[in-house]
Structure 1
Amino acid sequence: MSTVSVGCIICDPQNPIPVTTRFQARILVFNVTVPITIGYPVLLHHQSLIEPAVLSKLQAQLHKSTGETIKKKPRVLGNNSCALVELETTRPICIERYADFKELGRFMLRVGGVTIAAGMVTKIR
């Protein structure tokens, strides 16, 4: 019990949950005061875990409803945009693809106590 803390996930040893520091996700950006760029620091809220993270890649800007690629490798993400990004956490975290396990594939991104984006994990690196 001394090694279990808030944000830890207990799983079956025969079917372990993936542990990673990098993953690809589809995010929906809400209202942001400063446009999101590569290297943007955020707090990743995943279940009860709060972990510092950085947007390491902006892979594509997507159409909100259809999910089609509007622009590859955008320089910035503004208000009410949808995008495919890569996030990198400071420590390894347990995370699942949204398609495999919805509860462990969702997260929120916050900055300064304000939620700036919600996301779904699409690929684990």
Structure 2
Amino acid sequence: MSVNVSVRLDDALAERLKVRAQASGETLSDRLRRYAEEGARREEHPLITFRDGPAGRRAGLIGGPDVWEVAMWLDDLEDEDDPAQALVDEAPITRAQVDATIGYRNAFPVEVSARIALHRMDTAAQQ
């Protein structure tokens, strides 16, 4: 279910958003919806940001790699006593970033798992 919300925007802001939306093949409504969703996620997960790339828009750590990458590394270290600490010891990543990844993955498991699966499929196809 969705709710229709009326929002008043300054003319200049509305035009900037409209141009950005059109440049990405989105409608203004799509762009505003995405901004609202990503803004809410950023507030709920402060070390998370969103980035565009060849595989589409995805969650990433501020000052670090994509969330799915860290989650995959944690999966690869599942035999360790403390996978999170093992990753911090092995990679240029902080414990706060690992914890942020775990929190984001817990909130959006399907999204993160799908990114990992896509990466594994692409990697397998290249071999």
TM-score by length of 2: 0.27
**Which structure carries more relative contact order (alpha carbon 8 Å, separation 6+)?**
1
| Bigger fraction of residues in strand | 1
The higher radius of gyration belongs to 2
